[in-house]
Chain A
């Protein structure tokens, strides 16, 4: 019964992902290819003949792509796949082939302890995806950023994933609404929800938005860094720098701190929500429709940033200064409007749509 060898490979393939969550979605591929999908999570494609295939993808993710040889059970890793339509390379040989695109590597469980498909959970892996014309990204900071921040607490490892929209740095996006001149920024509102761990001694957690400014639309963000912070625990007393003043926006009090000029990044101003968000009984901190533009305007009026500066990157971030303790971003959203242009909304993470409205 040599058939059973082939069937053993079939079992290996299907048990490498949550097949019971998938549905036949042959509309996402071209016949005779067949597709099972849990959109935004996993796409399993079977090719009776060895041909290229285009797969319509969904979700704010890039996908780990692998060939599977149904005759031998061998996996072959491909470059990551990204939507909205991804075309496979030629299959590696004759006969039938299968493809598996997953948001994480189910075979190696590489992201298992870090990634939660119900939301975002910090991890130490690069992860990026294209969504409509906006790219969202989730991963560790660049080495220079890492070094800068690690310098504050050299005894602690740092894990600081982030998600956002930007124009240049970190390849956030080539098609986002950014950069926008601050004088032309009409609306910038932000929301987020995170599940935070219980604070423990010497463990620092922060939840914030982060913006980077430049004096040129094609420049690096050497003009300043701006990080409205809504939650934090065990933050060193000197972490925020000098208090500059405070203001009230939509009934919320913000205290501004100045960390001065950081290495090549420009002025680093941190508005801190007062009181900071308190986690609910489930450890969730949530805040909606924060008028970030009003906070920026305060900084411009005080002379810390300039109306002719450009906003290059906007992201929601969180920092966990001890590894293996999870701080999970459940949700994030931005509304960005430039004068004379329609508003761009990056909807709640869990409801991102394929095309921007």
Chain B
């Protein structure tokens, strides 16, 4: 649904309450949740314009509501650099989020290199880089450049491909190849996270019936 009828001046409180229950449960399990206000790359409509008052309201509400949870980090916007005609947008929103968040949760934005101290709101570097063999040299180089910049922050490859997804040949993105990616990343002094969308995983590709 391209336009589900967003009301930009009213919040769906039941939705936020459900989100809070999820955060509380994750916290019980010792998990930290990267909160992403929207995922533009998944072709969802962005209901508000960059720099608009509605956008600011949305982000401020999110921070006010979720910041009390100790297990959140902020990812300002997935693929923001690809889908926004606003190349400096993160440098605008990042400082606002830091200003609104009394708990100073780690803040970043997905998949664009920000070199602090030029972007002091950026507490960690969220990166997307797929496949084994592509990790070691890249992250070692990133470490060097960070050191040269004068501010060293965690490097996190949060997308190094998904199990069995979009394989170029059978098995080249199976669980074992992803596991090797994870080792390469960690051995290069970086962190990695992984995940799946709810309709993918070991059952992928979906059967025609399941795909609907």
Contacts and interface: CB of A to CB of B under 8 A. Distances in A.
Instruction: Indicate whether A and B interact.
Output: yes
A319 interface: no
B201 interface: yes
Given A1-B202, A24-B187, A34-B188, A6 B182 contact: yes
Contact of B163 (A1, A23, A35, A36): A1
A17 to B, nearest CB: 12
A24 B186 contact: no
Contacts of B136: 34
A226 B21 CA distance: 71
A268 interface: no
Interface in B160-212: 163, 175-176, 178-180, 182-184, 186-189, 194, 196, 201-202
Contacts of A44: 187
B127 interface: no
Give the size range of B's interface with the partner.
Answer: 20 to 34
Task: Name the prevailing secondary structure of the A interface residues.
Answer: mixed
A327 B188 CA distance: 39
Task: Name the prevailing secondary structure of the B interface residues.
Answer: helix
Given A6-B182, A10-B183, A96-B183, A24 B189 contact: yes
A10 B202 contact: no
Given A10-B179, A24-B143, A96-B183, A1 B189 contact: no
A1 B196 contact: yes
Most central of B132, B182, B202 by chain A CB within 10 Å: B182
Most central of A24, A36, A71 by chain B CB within 10 Å: A24
B189 A70 contact: no
Contacts of A19: 186
Interface string B126-151: 00000010001000100100000000
B183 A46 contact: yes
B202 A2 contact: yes
A261 interface: no
Nearest to B190: A24
Given A6-B182, A34-B136, A24 B163 contact: no
9 contacts: A1-B202, A2-B202, A3-B179, A10-B183, A14-B186, A22-B189, A24-B189, A96-B183, A98-B183
Given A24-B189, A46-B187, 15 more contacts: A1-B202, A3-B178, A5-B175, A7-B182, A19-B186, A24-B140, A34-B184, A34-B188, A35-B187, A36-B189, A44-B187, A48-B132, A48-B180, A48-B183, A48-B184
